[in-house]
């Protein structure tokens, strides 16, 4: 039950493809989805094999045309499950992360500092914890590299209280525009070469690999009966490439970003 709204901008002057999903859904959790949650440590007591749930969230993925403007993704969500005894389990999850084609240290520092400030309003331990979680989550195991330069990510957060976690999530969402839009404005008119555009396409291929193979939200959506596939796959770029055995030259700008994707950095100290 329920539904949502998907808005997609395509072939814009600045954004090649950008989308926003808002969804509020409810129903019975599929056995496969419940199995995934139990594998994360959730003890879910079903009644006659059924687990009523409700979930709501907002997510966005922005793929710019210019390879010097980074791709950005954010998602914040709330989940609730009613168990056999009537007890309700709830938790919040989400995050904001950046995927540049080329490394710009000034951009990376601005992005991470803005997110850190949002976290620090609530608890100084949150940013380092959720920054590491982000680096670990957006890991493409078969490539040995991260999808991007991270940000923050968290899931299954159900303490100290619902209102306090909700206030924290609101601070995170309010940080999305200030952490990203200055980077867009700074680089959207930068000149770029066909070779740089090609590298952007190859990096987008990695983005697709992560989203289709590992991403928890994509998996949950595809496993939910009656879900809208177009909205679930909104995060995929309009164009991407897979070049056979492509390796950038040593000491190149392309090799520089790969080094950071393989060995995450601390951007705020």
Which residues are annotated as catalytic? 73
Residue 120 CA to residue 132 CA, distance in Å, equals 15
Strand (E) or helix (H) holding 115: helix 105-120
CB 67 within 8 A of CB 99: no
Question: Which two structure tokens, joined as six digits, stand for 28?
Answer: 């019975």
CB 153 within 8 A of CB 137: yes
Helices 126-137, 105-120: crossing angle, 10 deg rounding? 130
Report the 3 state secondary structure along 152-178.
EEEEEECCCCHHHHHHHHHHHHHCHHH
Residue 116 CA to residue 43 CA, distance in Å, equals 32
Strand (E) or helix (H) holding 62: strand 52-64
In Å, what is the CA distance from 237 to each residue of 2, 27, 97? 27, 30, 16
Sign of CA dihedral 201, 207, 208, 213: positive
């Amino acid at each position: 039950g329920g539904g949502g709204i998907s808005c997609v901008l395509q072939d814009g002057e600045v954004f090649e493809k950008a989308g926003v999903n808002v969804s509020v859904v409810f129903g019975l959790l599929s056995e496969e989805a419940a199995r995934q949650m139990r594998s994360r440590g959730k003890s879910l007591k079903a009644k006659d094999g059924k687990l009523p749930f409700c979930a709501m969230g907002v997510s966005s993925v922005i793929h710019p045309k210019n390879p010097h403007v980074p791709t950005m993704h954010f998602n914040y969500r709330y989940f609730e499950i009613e168990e056999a005894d009537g007890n309700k389990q709830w938790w919040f999850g989400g995050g904001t992360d950046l995927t540049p084609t080329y490394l710009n240290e000034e951009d990376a520092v601005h992005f991470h500092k803005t997110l850190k400030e949002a976290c620090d309003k609530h608890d100084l331990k949150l940013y380092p914890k959720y920054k590491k979680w982000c680096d670990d989550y957006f890991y493409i195991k078969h490539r040995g590299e991260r999808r991007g330069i991270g940000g923050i990510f968290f899931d299954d957060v159900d303490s100290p209280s619902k209102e306090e976690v909700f206030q924290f999530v609101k601070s995170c969402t309010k940080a999305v525009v200030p952490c990203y839009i200055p980077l867009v404005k700074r680089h959207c008119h930068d000149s770029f070469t066909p070779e740089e555009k090609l590298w952007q396409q190859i990096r987008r291929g990695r983005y697709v690999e992560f989203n289709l193979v590992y991403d928890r939200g994509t998996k949950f959506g595809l496993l939910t009966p009656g879900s809208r596939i177009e909205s679930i796959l909104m995060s995929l770029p309009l164009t991407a490439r897979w070049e056979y055995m492509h390796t950038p030259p040593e000491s190149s700008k392309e090799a520089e970003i790969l080094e950071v994707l393989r060995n995450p950095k601390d951007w705020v100290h």
